[in-house]
Structure 1
Amino acid sequence: MFKTPSDYRFGLRLSERGCVAGIGDGIVWVRGLPSAELDELIGFDDGSTGLVFQLGKDMLGAILLSQTHDLTAGMSAQHIGRKLEVGVGEVLLGRVIDPLGKPLDGLPAADYRHYAPLEAAAPSILERDFVNEPLYTGCKIVDALIPIGKGQRQLIIGDDGLGKSSLALDAVINQRGRDVLCVMVIIGQTRSSIAGVIETLRQTGALEHTVVVVAEANALPGFRYLAPFSGCAIAEHWMRMGRDTLIVYDDLTRHAQSYRELSLLLQRPPGREAYPGDIFYLHSRLLERSTVLSISSGGGSMTALPIIETRQGELSAYIPTNLISITDGQIYFDSKLFAAGMLPAIDIGRSVSRIGGKAQHAAIKAASARIRLDYLQFLEMELFARFGTRLESGVEEKLRRGRILREVLKQDRLEPLPEQAHLGWLLAYSEGLLTDLAPTVVNATLHELLQSLVESSLSLNSPKPQWLAYLREQLMVLT
């Protein structure tokens, strides 16, 4: 307690000592410590640590953060005197860590100079600014029809195995060279799938601007609960420093299940689907920390892409409806589109971006103005055309254009496109330059066209006639 004998001062000293009443499933019950606070760290005589998570009349419940084999009932517990923090800063770029900041990549521990609390108040209204800059994911459908702005919270929702994580991974890869720092929070997944994500980031060069926070499927529920708050603290530190950040929560379904597990272990009253009554507050206090700050507050931004899983496409389930009400829009993945080979399997009709259009570049916004409506009309007409009725020539032409558009919107995973390519295909389609192509060759032709476009000197601010002249010239060569 005293560094040197001269530090000692004679006097009466009082300290609280608690006693471990029970241990199990990553939870420890402690009697005593009447002045303990929520989210306070407590220590045990064997060196184990816990996080106060439940305050009762006679006992408190704590999440075990570290545990030795010597921790037993009857052992004394005491206050540590601080809240839980995680190391932050650019030393984390390219690293894989657990929710407490410990390395999982086999490298030495990072030399942290700054720490940030996992739980922090969201920025106030006066600190925030309007979303006014686009964040490009590289996906044709998203960047053109469901745009995302820096500071937005855009939900990615759908059944398991439809490509939700692939879209988020593409978005992270597409931030290479854009001065956007990324945090990927992986919750409750198997070690093999986590290794695949990390290897993909490494091969594409995206790991250099990314931090991966991992809570594996076999981790204690407390670690899975803390993972998104740890990743948020890391991204929020950069946002407060004026940097643009992107954070992916993959996924919040498992996070909610971990919180439910903890709550049941701590004997909290269950509510709907056995979730505790504050499940809405759990995710709202997390996602409200994502925003764009005003210039006076640093001018940084944190864009959030939370992923949520549905069952049989049921959007009205408890957790999905909570997240839809918290976020600024959703990207919905449909199993029928996936089975039909429409990849990415994004349902444009059920997907929406409530504020991203305000941050969309004027040229892309103008070129995509009618495409969403045209595609939805095509889907409706195609449904009626299946009955075999005789169609007018105008309807036949709209069906043909719709089929071409459907082929144009297809995109392979791990192939994000720059914004120039988005404007190129939008103009080529809306001006009818692809009408004469057969749907079977549209993708191959468009791929070569966009490759040449990326290497050209055209930019989003180039005049539209210059764009059209280049596109016509290239299409003549390709066809």
Structure 2
Amino acid sequence: MNWRFLNGKPIMPDNSAAVNLQDYRFGLRLSERGSVAGIGDGIALIRGLPTARLDELISFDDGSTGLVFQLGKDLLGAILLSQSQGVTAGMSVQHTGRKLEIGVGEVLLGRVVDPLGKPLDGLPDPDFSQFNPLEAAAPPIIERDFVKDPLYTGNKIVDALIPIGKGQRQLIIGDDGIGKSTLALDAVINQKGRDVFCVFVLIGQPRSSVAGTIETLRAAGALDYTVVVVAEANALPGFRYLAPFAGCAIAEHWMRLGRDTLVVYDDLTRHAQSYRELSLLLQRPPGREAYPGDIFYLHSRLLERSTVLGLSSGGGSMTALPIIETRQGELSAYIPTNLISITDGQIYFESKLFAAGFLPAIDIGRSVSRIGGKAQHEAIKAASARIRLDYLQFLELELFARFGARLEAGVEEKLRHGRLLREILKQDRLEPLSEQAHLAWLLAYGEGLLNETPPEQATERLHRVFEQLPDSGLKLETPKPQWLGKLKSWLSEAHEPAA
């Protein structure tokens, strides 16, 4: 049934004898109505509606909705938010006076939704009681706090050498198909039991990749505390443009309630391409690589909303892991340089390492975390203090040794230790480690407990140590001598042939 309004109050039309006309007041009422001047490729050009505002919802006579995206002198451009085939030139358009919002809350946990909050998993519509705008101002500085608590990804290289803190924006960058999304999945899976709500945003991905990601999260039990926001490759460009803002709005609601959240944007390269597509369709002046001039502002206003709030503002946090794609490792391309300048560090994936079998293929020399060290636990920080430098020196020595020069005994020893460390740093996908396991391998390597171990056997021995940790009672705060005593005992047992 269609509802109408009298003086702002809803009434039932037509056959309703219950309509109370005593509240009706005669008077002049003005309303704006525009018309569709052109339609195509998910964009509608509207003539009229002179008081329309950016990001305002508008409605078409066939029931379709759009979002005002550009204000021009004669025409305004709108993103279509529905795939209706009934929108045609000349159709009437009118204001709604509302901003685009998405339903938020714990009813979304375990669900797969589109950027408007509509379910894509075949389950009933969520019963929302609260809504958040997709576009919102970033928290002011006075509401923010310092990054001080670690967010563990379960990855040896990241948690030990490129640490991430809650509220940080850490870029994951590299060529296509070398493990960026896998690292993000590991990070989400590792939040199980840590009271962190996760939002995984899939932008412009093919349906097979979307299904694989959802199934991986479900199999690992991570979907229970995760929301998946999907805008597939065949979706309207407006949906792909709105997807990361929808994911951010969902996580921001929990952050304001004092919860810790993690948002993965996979990936912002496709998001930038969608924005470029919309801008070119609306004939905006193209700039470098045909992107519009405000492409930097597009991602900065999104990522600046990720932070850690002070206790007076709720005390929650939103950690962002944006993923960006490079071509042939080119870091100086337009979008990668923009994202590097916005974020608090980057994890760089190198295709040559991937081809050589070093997985995850993280280039430790080019990766950095500018503020994560402030949040790293003191025990892990102390144990990993020299490992990064030792590994980088080993890489230089190994390159020098390829020339076949005669090496001193000390150089040979450093090369052997470096090869051992390289084997230790390798890690299988979807096998995140606890922080206790990180401290265990750091101490075992740093204190020389693995010096007599052949590099090819180091991983197996450490896995047998990791199996002992859950029942050992060892914590990060446990004194170092107790750690070393346990590790020596376990490694000596692991040295014996398995029964």
TM-score, normalised to structure 2, is 0.95
How many Å apart are 1:231 and its aligned residue?
0.2
1:186-239, CA deviations, whole angstroms, 9 ceiling, x for partnerless residues? 000010110000001001000000000000000010000000000000000000
Match status 1:85 vs 2:109: no
Cα distance in 2, alignment partners of residues 67 and 384 from structure 1:
60
Q: In the TM superposition, what is the alpha-carbon distance from 1:259 to its structure 2 partner? A: 0.1
Q: Partner residue of 2:262? A: 246
Q: 2:489 is matched with which residue?
A: 473
Aligned pairs for 1:87-102 (under 5 A) are 87-102=103-118
Q: Please state how far the C-alpha of 1:245 moved relative to its aligned partner.
A: 0.1
The partner residue of 1:321 within 308, 316, 337 is 337
Match of 1:112 among 128, 135, 151: 128
Q: 1:443 maps to what in 2? A: 459
- Structure 2 counterpart of 1:457, which letter? G
Q: CA deviation at 1:452?
A: 1.3
- State the partner residue of 1:195: 211
In structure 1, what is the Cα distance between the partners aligned to 2:235 and 2:88? 21
Counterpart of 1:437 in 2: which secondary structure?
coil
Moved over 6 A (4+): none
- Output aligned runs, 1:208-247, within 5 Å: 208-247=224-263
In the alignment, is residue 25 of structure 1 matched against residue 48 of structure 2? no
Match of 1:168 in 2: 184
Instruction: Give deviations 1:442-478, integer Å, cap 9, x for gaps.
Output: 1111111112123321000000000000000001111
SS in 2 for 1:66: coil
User: What residue identity is the alignment partner of 2:479?
Assistant: P
Is 1:414 matched up with 2:430?
yes
Listed one character per residue, the Cα deviations across residues 403-426 of structure 1 (whole Å, up to 9, x for unaligned) are 000000000000000000000000
Counterparts of 2:461 and 2:26, CA distance in 1: 85
In 2, distance between residues paired with 1:69 and 1:87?
26
Deviation at 1:440, TM superposition (A): 1.1
Superposed, which structure 2 residues align to 1:237-386 within 5 Å?
237-386=253-402
Q: Alpha-carbon deviation of 1:35? A: 0.2
1:45 to 61, 69, 90: 61
Paired residues of 1:91 and 1:110 also in contact (CA < 8 A): yes
Question: Distance between the aligned counterparts of 1:235 and 1:42, measured in 2?
Answer: 26
Distance 1:468 1:363 in 2: 13
Runs of 5+ consecutive residues of structure 1 not aligned to the other structure: none
- Paired residues, what number? 479
Mapping for residues 131-146 of structure 1, pairs under 5 Å? 131-146=147-162
* Cα separation, 2, equivalents of 1:125 and 1:430: 40
| Distance in 2 separating the partners of 1:158 and 1:8 | 64
Distance 2:97 2:303 in 1: 28
Tell which structure's C-alpha radius of gyration is larger. Answer: 2
TM-score of the superposed pair, with normalisation by structure 1:
0.99
Q: Which residue of 2 aligns with 1:5?
A: 20
Whether the 8 Å CA contact 1:49–1:67 is kept in 2: the answer is no
Q: Which residue of 2 aligns with 1:151?
A: 167
2:258 and 2:124 mapped to 1: Cα distance?
28
Residue ranges of structure 2 left out of the alignment (5+ in a row): 12-18
Provide the rounded CA distance (Å) in 2 between the counterparts of 1:69 and 1:199.
33
- Structure 1 CA distance for aligned equivalents of residues 115 and 158 of structure 2: 30
Distance of 2:134 and 2:471 partners within structure 1: 44
- Measure the CA separation in 2 of the matches of 1:468 and 1:426: 11
SS of 2:63's equivalent in the other structure is coil
Q: CA RMSD in A?
A: 0.7
Shift of 1:69: 2.4
Alpha-carbon distance, 1:8 to partner: 2.4
Q: Decide whether the 8 Å contact of 1:421 with 1:454 is kept in 2.
A: no
